[in-house]
Amino acid sequence: MKSFNSRFMLIGVVVLIIAGVAGFLLWRTSSNNAVAASNATVITITAKDTMFDLSTITVKVGQPVTIRLVNADDMDHQFSVNDLNVHSDQIGPNQTTEVTFTPSQIGDYEFICSYSHHAQLGMVGTLKVVK
């Protein structure tokens, strides 16, 4: 019986350690994003009827950018620039999310809603990164 209690206690301690490390990593990531977002250009884009309200977004190379995605629809949406490895959280109706990144190369990049088949329905646009 004592062996069972010791084993149960050891499992509990391991779970607490894992939870503590995960909590610290999540806190550290959100703190870094808050700092990055404070000096970023904020661009709000609204998703509705499997369309974005902006078809072109122009930003400067090397400058932090925060995309604020507002879901004004009755289905989930998400914002991605696959070539830049930029992906927002998927959000439900009447929700908002933000993703902050710093484009490092000039060029035109496609942004899409990668939820379901929305990109194939035309939920796409162009992110222009300029000098």
pLDDT tens for each residue of 16-52: 676 665 655 555 444 444 444 579 999 999 999 999 9
pTM over 0.85: no
Report the alpha-carbon angle 8-9-15, nearest 5. Answer: 90
Q: Where do the structural domains in the chain lie, given as residue ranges?
A: 1-38, 40-130
Report the alpha-carbon distance of residue 126 to residue 131 in Å, rounded: 16
CATH of domain 40-130: 2.60.40.420
pLDDT tens for each residue of 59-104: 999 999 999 999 999 999 999 999 999 999 999 999 999 999 999 9
Beta-carbon contacts of residue 75 (< 8 Å; ≥ 6 apart): 50, 93, 115, 116
